Amino acid sequence: MAAHRFLTTTQVQAFHFTDHASDLTAARVCRRVLERLRRDRLLGTLQRRVGGVRAGSASFVWHLNAVGDRLLREKSNTGPRRRSFEPSLHFLQHTLAVADLHLQLRQTAAAGTIELLRVTTEPDCHRRYPNFGGGLSTLKPDLYAVTAAGDFEDSWFFEVDLGTESLPRLLAKCAEYEAYRRSGVEQQASGVFPLVVWLIDEARRRTALTAAIAKDQGLPDKLFRVLGPHDLPGLLVGGAA
């Protein structure tokens, strides 16, 4: 839960309740456990629901509550508690979409076509690097992952786009990746630079970003892939090369 901050009931079930005889049994056990955790103030739910009230408990969006947060911080020896807040619709939709990406990686690995060696979420996947002004900049991927297919390991930075940002803003984010690549920080730490994967639902938007990257002489084409989410398993199996 802490890794993604917010998860729907369905996502909690997909992450943690996969060893049951049927989906119906898994859903029933998941709901029972979540209600117990909410009663004990380990977890809480947002006022906003996904899918509306008619979707029942499946529409709840869960987050760490006061007791859960305190126990987690005591275990990990981290800093002060994050302030709780009711997120904007855009923030929530994007956060849940990144969680869906994480689930897609796990499900692809479960199918046996790849190994999922590592997944790092925000803010742990952020990267600090020196900029041209002499200060430090921070690159903020949505997700970082390392996978293996056969004898080859591949590293990935993921960006999940829901169509809310302008094309110039997407190109600016691409330029941040190129600046980070040129800094050499990642290569020094891990020996390779991850492929940057943009996941975009809308075909027209994918085409526009692909063309804009190709047109920008400051952006190397080989650094980026622009895909629909349904194309991701094929890329993972084929590798980043």
pLDDT at res. 19: 87
Own/partner pairs, 44-51, CB within 8 angstroms, 24+ separation: 44/84, 46/6, 46/86, 46/87, 46/92, 47/86, 48/86, 48/87, 48/89, 48/92, 50/8, 50/96
How many separate domains does the chain show? 2
Residues 141 and 227 in one domain: yes
Residues 23 and 83 in one domain: yes
pLDDT at res. 43: 94
- Quote the pTM value: 0.91
Domain of residue 209 covers 92-238
Positions in the chain short of pLDDT 50: none
Residues 206 and 228 in one domain: yes
pLDDT at res. 240: 75
Does some domain include residue 81? yes
Structure tokens at 20: 């049951």
- Taking the C-alpha atoms of residue 100 and residue 93, their distance in angstroms, rounded to an integer, is 10
Asked if 94 contacts 122 with a C-beta cutoff of 8 angstroms, the reply is: no
Residues 50 and 102 in one domain: no
Query: Within the chain, how many helices (H) and strands (E) appear?
Result: 8, 10
Helices (H), the chain: 9-16, 23-39, 66-76, 89-110, 167-183, 185-190, 203-215, 232-238
Last residue of a domain, one of 37, 67, 87: 87
Asked if 145 contacts 118 with a C-beta cutoff of 8 angstroms, the reply is: yes
Residues 172 and 118 in one domain: yes
